[in-house]
Structure 1
Amino acid sequence: MPTRRLIPDVIKNQDLSCLPPDATVRNAALLMAERRIAAVLVTEGRTLRGIVTERDMTVRVVAAGLDPDVTPLSAVMTAAPDTLEPSASALAALDLMERHHYRHLPVAVDGEAVGMVSIRDLFAVVRTHLEDEIRSREAYMFGSGYSAEATAG
């Protein structure tokens, strides 16, 4: 897979979804529902303090019987999460996420949140790469006028 950097190749122009550590789990759930996302960064200013995901809410709040209206994110977040720099490769992110079973990984510079990459973002990069490889091999084997789409009709 060609070297694709997290920023700007995988994610760009991202509007970060951040809440402070004292925000409630309900606040995070409402933000996730509104933006149709599965994770929120927990920040003080732009300084990354943690991450809260749907999985955290299921395991650490619902299953534990906590009240989402009064439970602060600081009580259920993954504090000091692993991060990668914007210049890290998509492959490095995929490897880290696979090893630790993450579906979301913050991107940070000197402790400041600048983005978040999801497994879905990385899947799109891998899929594009595989499609490009197939087209390239088809062109090599059958000539540049050949494609699976042209013969399907």
Structure 2
Amino acid sequence: MIIEQILKSKGRSVMTARHNDSIHEIASRLSHRKIGAIVIVGDNGKVDGIISERDIIRLVAEHGAQALAMPASEGMTRNVVSCSSASTIDEIMEMMTNGRFRHLPVIEDGALVGIISIGDVVKHHTAEVELEVTAMRGYLATG
């Protein structure tokens, strides 16, 4: 299965923020939307970073409550790993496992077109496996 299929079923909506948005604003958006990461975009709309719940926890651990007033640019991951809509679930799982992250922006021709979470990957991988098991049972039952 390719990422394009996941985006078709889940949608292409991506929560974004700007460099100068505060960590508090970002934490509020994460909580309100019940999501785990927000992509940071520059004035040109290009992906400049990503900030996750883990990044916010790290900032608070290092700087205390003062971290909430810091801009996103001080807490975001700048070297964003991304994929394309043609990437496969196997490629994505390997990237997420090796990189130890749970969110992956989908970029096409330099533009942000979606985001894939580990939850999306697990859901669709499980559906694939269940479909294969059902097909095998049907095959075995008919002999």
What TM-score does the superposition give when structure 1 sets the normalisation length? 0.84
* Contact residue 11 and residue 121 of structure 1 kept, 8 A: no
Larger Rg: 1
CA distance in 1, matches of 2:74, 2:127: 39
Report how far residue 139 of structure 1 moved: 0.7
CA distance in 1, matches of 2:68, 2:125: 39
Amino acid in the other structure paired with 1:55: R
Gaps (5+ residues) in structure 2?
Answer: none
Aligned to 2:79: 80
5 Å-filtered alignment, 1:118-129, equals 118-129=117-128
SS in 2 for 1:42: strand
Higher share of residues assigned helix: 2
Report how far residue 110 of structure 1 moved: 3.5
CA distance in 2, matches of 1:139, 1:85: 35
CA distance in 2, matches of 1:48, 1:109: 11
Amino acid in the other structure paired with 2:56: M
Aligned to 1:10: 6
RMSD of aligned Cα (Å): 1.5
5 Å-filtered alignment, 1:2-151, equals 4-7=1-4, 9-12=5-8, 13-45=11-43, 46-59=45-58, 61-66=59-64, 67-143=66-142
How many equivalent residue pairs? 139
Q: What do residues 52-109 of structure 1 show as CA deviations (whole Å, max 9, x unaligned)?
A: 00011111x1111242442011101000301111111122111111111111111112
CA distance in 2, matches of 1:69, 1:25: 5
Single out whichever of 37-46 and 48-57 deviates more from structure 2.
37-46
What TM-score does the superposition give when structure 2 sets the normalisation length? 0.90
